[in-house]
Amino acid sequence: MLSKKSQYAFKALAYLTEKYQQGPVLISEISTKKRVPLKFLENILLELKKADILESKKGKGGGYYLKKDPSQVKVAAIVRIVNGPIAMLPCVSLNFYKRCDNCDETACGLHDIMIKVRDATLNVLETKTLIDLLPMK
């Protein structure tokens, strides 16, 4: 399951996608409009900035805004940043691979199943972008 943090991140990103190319948006505005605890949101946005998703400006007229066009930012990337691995097992993760203990990957049925799950999941998450966060008109 996605953490609360991740859900907050997506709410914030949806808001920033709406406001794309309309200048910086205050953390406090996102917080009140999307009902996300202010200080918690601060941390999340900062993390997204460090991951190169957002850009920020300090001082009057400052705030956060999307660094790239929302249609270019994949949902999969966001999940990896705020929620961690997408795969259900470390040994089938593309971005967070870790060998599993006492388990020969070449002879592990679960391994194969989880690769299929990963591919099916990525097939969705890698094709959806921030644009898809907005409700259809």
- Count CB atoms within 10 A of the CB of residue 135: 6
Q: How far is CA 16 from CA 87, 98, 124, in A?
A: 27, 34, 22
Task: Pick the piece of the chain touching a copy of itself (CB under 8 A) from 41-49, 50-58, 60-68, 107-115.
Answer: 107-115
CA atoms lying within 13 Å on the CB side of residue 50: 8
Contact set for DNA, span 49-108 (CB under 7 A): 49-50, 56-64, 84
Task: Give 39 or 58: the residue with its C-beta nearer to a copy of itself.
Answer: 39
Tokens 């900035």 belong to 49
Q: Which one of residues 20, 24, 117, 128 is an interface residue with DNA (CB under 7 A)?
A: 24
Residues that bind DNA (CB under 7 A): 3-5, 8, 24-28, 37-40, 42-43, 45-46, 49-50, 56-64, 84
